[in-house]
Structures are given as C-alpha cells and as structure tokens.
A and B are shown apart, each in its own frame.
Chain A
Amino acid sequence: DGGITQSPKYLFRKEGQNVTLSCEQNLNHDAMYWYRQDPGQGLRLIYYSQIVNDFQKGDIAEGYSVSREKKESFPLTVTSAQKNPTAFYLCASSLDGIIAGELFFGEGSRLTVL
C-alpha cells in the first residue's frame, strides 16, 4: 500500500546526543515536510522540501537539519543544539509543493529526551 512510513515510532535520547528520524514515502510525491507537535498544541513547520536536493527552513528550524538526496526519503536530525527536543514529530508529503494539494501524514515519531 502507498503511504508514508516514519521510524522509529518511539525514541529515547540522552541530552547532548543527535538523533535521526526516518521518513520514507512511496507515493511518488515531490514535496515533503517535517512538523513538530507539543502537547495540546498545533503543528509547527520545521523544514520542507519541494524537490530533490533542495529544502527550506520552516518556522522552527533551529537545532534541526535535513537532507533530501532521494525523492522518497526526507530524514530529520535533531541535534544537541535543539533546546527542547521532546515532542511528537510528523512527516508529511504532497504530490506537488506548488499547487494546493492534499497533505499525507505519517503516524509520527515520539522523541523523549531523558
């Protein structure tokens, strides 16, 4: 079945460690996104990519990094520079980053920093 796969679903990290969250899609979508959600809050955009080898910062990019070497993959690294990394991370994709199409979301990765 086509869709977006995020892994791991749950992740624990010690302070000072970098961690990479995986996001893979087999929908042949050009655009991919990373959002962060804190308890009781809406989603905030971290990074987005409209095409391979290109990405832009969202509203809260500090302390995060991404890459887009393949169309189907958009991994997110939470670095030690991120002050409050504990959150629910959501990856999404859309067919085209330009037209107003539907966003497809993964099931999320819950990161807890101990």
Chain B
Amino acid sequence: DAKTTQPNSMESNEEEPVHLPCNHSTISGTDYIHWYRQLPSQGPEYVIHGLTSNVNNRMASLAIAEDRKSSTLILHRATLRDAAVYYCILKSNFGNEKLTFGTGTRLTIIP
C-alpha cells in the first residue's frame, strides 16, 4: 500500500491560515487522497478528499501537486476547535480497504 509522510506536529496562531503538508511519493493513479482529523478521545472526522484537482469545502481546502506526490490541507482561518491530529491517507478506488492511518500531524493552535 502506498504510504504517506506527515510532520509529527505543527503550531499555528489562532485566526491565521494553516498549511498541513503530506508526502505520498508512491501514490498510484487510482488512489484518492483523504484527510481526517481526530480530537482527543473521539473518533476521526472526515475533512476532505480529492484525486487530482484542488478541492474546497466548508471545512478546508485541499491542494494537490501536479505530480500528485504531495498535497496540502489548508485551514483558512484556524480556531481553537481546529486543534487535533490530522491524518492524510490514500484510499484506492479498486476495493483495497486496508486503509493505513499513520501517526498524523498534531496541530496546536496558539490563542
């Protein structure tokens, strides 16, 4: 399975944009890039996903590199409620359901 690499931790000031990077150099053509986040003692929550084009939703934006070997989750204006562990995972469109969640990036928001 293609793997992802994320920084262990990041900090950002409240009300500023946050860019969370993810490297996936062995991504295959059928892999979608998914982002989830997990608050303490809760289950992960879906944030966004994409294949090739940049994606926007009410929570965040996903910028995907042209070669698809990396992507960036963008939180446009961080709030204290965005403090969580963010996971970048690859999900194939061909039934490979062994989804691998790495250790993710722990995002700390500074008031």
Q: Hey, which bits of chain A sit against chain B, CB under 8 A? A: 4, 31, 33, 35, 40-45, 48, 50, 56, 58-59, 88, 90, 92, 97-100, 102-108, 110
Do B101 and A31 have beta carbons less than 8 Å apart?
Answer: no
The answer, among A42, A100, A106, for a CB contact under 8 Å with B93, is: A100
Q: Hey, which bits of chain B sit against chain A, CB under 8 A? A: 32, 34, 36, 41-46, 49, 51, 87, 91-95, 97-104
The answer to whether A105 and B44 touch (CB under 8 A), given A40-B103, A42-B104, A100-B93, is yes
Which 5 A-B residue pairs are closest in the complex by CB-CB distance?
A: A105-B43, A100-B32, A43-B101, A42-B101, A102-B46
Say what secondary structure dominates the interface of chain B: loop
The answer, among B34, B42, B99, for a CB contact under 8 Å with A108, is: B42
